[in-house]
Structure 1
Amino acid sequence: MITAQDAETVGGLISAAGGSSFGQALDLLTKSCAEFDMSCAFAFSLRAEPKVVHDGYSATVDRRALRSYLRGAYLLDPFYSASISGRPEGLWRMRDLAPDGFYESEFMASREVHPCISDEAGTLVEEIGFLVRLTGEHTATYSLMRNRGGQPFCSEEFAALAALTPIVAASLQRHWQLTHAADNVETPVRADAEQVFQEVFGSVLTPAQHAVTKLILRGHSSLSIAEHLGIAEGTVKIHRSNIYRRLEISSQSELFQMFINYLAK
C-alpha cells in the first residue's frame, strides 16, 4: 500500500516536470529508497552532443570537468555506450556495463574530465543508473553516486530503486517532452559524435589504429579489444606499439593526456 508521503513525493515529481525543480523532485523520490551523494541525468544520442537534463553534482564539482565531459569525454563513459547500443531500460550498475579494464583506466580516476571524480570526497565508491528511452534517438541516463567513505548500494537498495523504474521513466520522458519539444533535437550537432576521436588522432593514425585507440581509452584490455575487433591479442599489442610510436608517446597515460588536452582547449 502506498503511503501518504509516497503519494506526495510522486505528486510533486509530476508537478515538477518541465520546470527547474524537476531534478530535485526526482532525487527526492529515489532518496526514499536509498541515500546517495550526487546525481545527474544526461540525454545521449549517437549523432549529437549530450544534453544535461539534471545537474545534481555537489557545489564542489569542478565545472571545467563537466565542460570537458560534454565536449567529448562522455564518449568514454560506459553509460553513454550503453545508451547508444540498445541496452534494455532499467537500473544498471556501472560495473555491469564497464569494460574489463575500466576501473584501472585514466578516465575513471581523472579529475579533469570526469565530473563525479572532481568532488572533494574523491573517488567514487559506486555509480548506478537508470536507462530510459526518450523521443527520437535520445536515451536518458539518470545516475546515482556514492563517494569514497560510503558503501556500495546493497541488493535491497538496488531492488527498491529498480522498482521505481516505471515512475522514473515516465517522469523523465514527460520532462523531456516539455523541455525539448520545441527543439530540433534530430538535427545532428556533428555527423558522428565519435568525430571527436578523429579530431584528436585521425590524421595520424590508420583506421585500424583509430579503432584500437578508442577501445584503449574506454578501458578495454588487449584481450577485450581483440574480442571486440575480431583480431588476435598479439595484433592488438602491435597496434598499441605502433599507436604510441606514431603519436610520439610511450604510455597509455600519455595517450589519455592527449585526449583530455584536446577537450580542455
Structure 2
Amino acid sequence: MGTSTFKNIEYQTIGNGMPIIFLHGLALDRVSTRNFFEKDSNLADFQRIYIDIPGMGNSSPTSEATADTIFSNLVEFIDHIVAGKNFALYGHSFGGYLAQAIAYHYQNQVSGLFLTCPVCIANKEFRVVEKHKNEYIDKVFVSDNEKFFNDFESMNVLISQSRWSSYQELILPGLERANAKFLNKLQHNGYTISFEQKLQNLAPKTKIQLVLGRHDHVVGYKQQMKAFLDNEQVSLTLLASAGHNIMIDQPEYVYDLFDKFTQNLEIEM
C-alpha cells in the first residue's frame, strides 16, 4: 500500500494480477482514481497501479511542458513497472488522452482501455462541447471548502450533498497540489500529442469501454463517439445526467461498466 517513485513519477501499487494503470485528469492526482476505484471490491484479482502524472500530485514536472514529453516519461515508467506483461488502462480526460497514446504505443500488450470523458482533440478551438447544466437533487450544506463550491457547480451536473462530499474527497487534493505554472505552459504550448491523428488506431484485440456525459462542456461527447464508432471492440455509453465529472455525477454506472470491462479482461487471462 506504500508509495514508490520511478524517476520523477510517484505511484502506488495495490494487489496482484493483471496490471491496470490508472491515469487521472488534468490538475488532479492519483487520489481521484485510487479513492474512487478502491471502493470497488471486484478488483481484487488485479494489480492496481495509481500514478501521479508528471507536474501533478507528488510527481515533478517533465523537462519540457509538452504532452509528448509526459508521454515519453510514462513509456519509461511502464517499461520499468510492467515490462513485457499484458496490462489494461483507465484514463479520465487528459489521462484518457494519454491512455489512448499508450494503447497505441503498446499495441501488443494493452488488453483493454476504459475511458471516461477522454480528451479526443487537444486543441480546445476544434472541440465540439456541450452546454453545461445543473440538476439539483437536494440542498447542499457547505461548511468546509466554500471557495470551491462554485467550481463544483460549474463541473458537476447533479448537485447533492453526497456529490459535494465526493468532489471534496476526489478532486480537491489534486487541485491543491498541481503545479499551476507547469500546467499553464502545457496547455498553452504543448497540449497536443504529435501523433494525435493515430490515437484511435489500436490493436483489433483491445477491448475499449467509452463512458461519456451528455452535458460535458469540457471535451463533449460527439467527436469521441465518431472517432471510435467504427471499432468493433468499442462499447459506447452516453449518460444523460452527467458532465465532465462523470464519476461523481454517476458513480454507480461507472462502477458497473468497469466491472463488466474487467470481467471481459478476466476471460482473456
**Same-fold status (TM-score > 0.5):** no
Instruction: Classify the TM-score, shorter chain.
Output: under 0.3
Give the TM-score, by structure 2 length. 0.28
Q: In proportion to residue count, which structure has more helix?
A: 1
TM-score by length of 1: 0.28
